[in-house]
Amino acid sequence: MNIVLITLFPELIQQATGFGVLGRAIKQGQIKLHCFNPRDYAEDKHRTVDDRPYGGGPGMLMKVEPLAKSIANAKEVLSSTAKVVYLSPQGMPLNQQRVINTAATVADLVLIAGRYEGIDERIIASLIDEEWSIGDYVLSGGEFAALVVVDAVARLLPGVLGDDESAIQDSFMQGLLDCPHYTRPENITGLAVPDVLLSGDHKAIKRWRLKQSLGRTWLRRPDLLDTVKNKPSQWDAEKADLLAEFQAEYEAGKINKSSN
Ligand code: 4FV
């Protein structure tokens, strides 16, 4: 996947993308990431990229011309069909399904990281394909939001994760929250590892993990569970039975409410 990230702080992006899974994806070439700085497209001697909002009000907006030129250049470098996404609190919520779709269908992606109070609406109307939000809060810039997108998409690209299976088991890949995980030592101040995980019975372990995911989603994110229940491709009798089993145990006080 070829990505151009339009940002006033390319250094921030370059420093944040040299580590871990994302760093490996870039090194291996599954992600080709370039940063374009609108300041390089400003033509006045002060390389101005912001201006006051019409109608008054606090703060500044990113100027149209430098942004428009940086987007145009990004589409020349990538392709005219590159998908252009602006990160902002006014966007569609980013979720795993949107990440999955992007990883599976988008070859060329332009991500625009806003600064100040945001960007001129005419840019959004004329040059942006989609507006995405990473959450209902306000950041000082869109760079971290863009990095969230790049990281979440990169880990789904073939060959990026050592064990492709782990991407599938992740939370949200089946629409559910992830199950609890444990590693050595077996006992920490009296807190033991569930016996099933020590049994070596892979069928029982898989069943336990799915049951925990269902129960945890029921307790913490009933909205996600409702979505899964309404998708025939994601809901089946086994899940219904496991959830009922978890709910019965929970109601009978057999499950530690704080642990879930
Ligand atoms: C944001 C979000 C976000 C708003 C003003 C950048 C900031 C500044 N982006 N999801 N939430 N952006 O807060 O994506 O320009």
pLDDT of residue 260 exceeding 60, the answer is: no
Question: Considering only CA atoms, which residue is closest to atom 10 of ligand 1?
Answer: 133
What pLDDT digit, counting tens, does each position of 31-64 carry? 999 999 999 999 999 999 999 999 999 999 999 9
23 lines ligand 1 (CB under 6 A): no
- What pLDDT is stored for residue 170 in this prediction? 72
Q: How confident is the model at residue 172 (pLDDT cuts 50, 70, 90)?
A: confident
CATH architecture of 2-164: 3-Layer(aba) Sandwich (3.40)
pLDDT of residue 259 exceeding 60, the answer is: no
* Fold annotation for 173-259: Trp Operon Repressor; Chain A (1.10.1270)
User: Where are the chain's structural domains?
Assistant: 2-164, 173-259
Distance 39 CA to ligand 1 centre (A): 19
Distance 150 CA to ligand 1 centre (A): 15
Q: How confident is the model at residue 186 (pLDDT cuts 50, 70, 90)?
A: very high
Q: How confident is the model at residue 82 (pLDDT cuts 50, 70, 90)?
A: very high
Percentage, residues of the chain above pLDDT 90:
92
- List helix spans (H) across 202-254: 202-220, 222-229, 237-251
> Catalytic site residues?
89, 117, 155, 170
Distance 88 CA to ligand 1 centre (A): 4
Enumerate the β-bridge partners of residue 133. Answer: 93
What are the phi and psi torsion angles at 191 (to 5°)? -90, 115
Rounded to an integer, what distance in angstroms lies between the CA atom of residue 73 and that of residue 128? 14
- What pLDDT is stored for residue 257 in this prediction? 60
> Residues in the chain, how many?
260
CA 216, distance to chain mean position in Å, is 21
- List helix spans (H) across the chain: 10-16, 20-28, 64-77, 96-105, 121-127, 143-154, 164-169, 195-198, 202-220, 222-229, 237-251
Q: 224: closest CA among 258, 180, 178?
A: 178
| Average pLDDT of span 114-118 | 97
pLDDT of residue 164 exceeding 70, the answer is: no
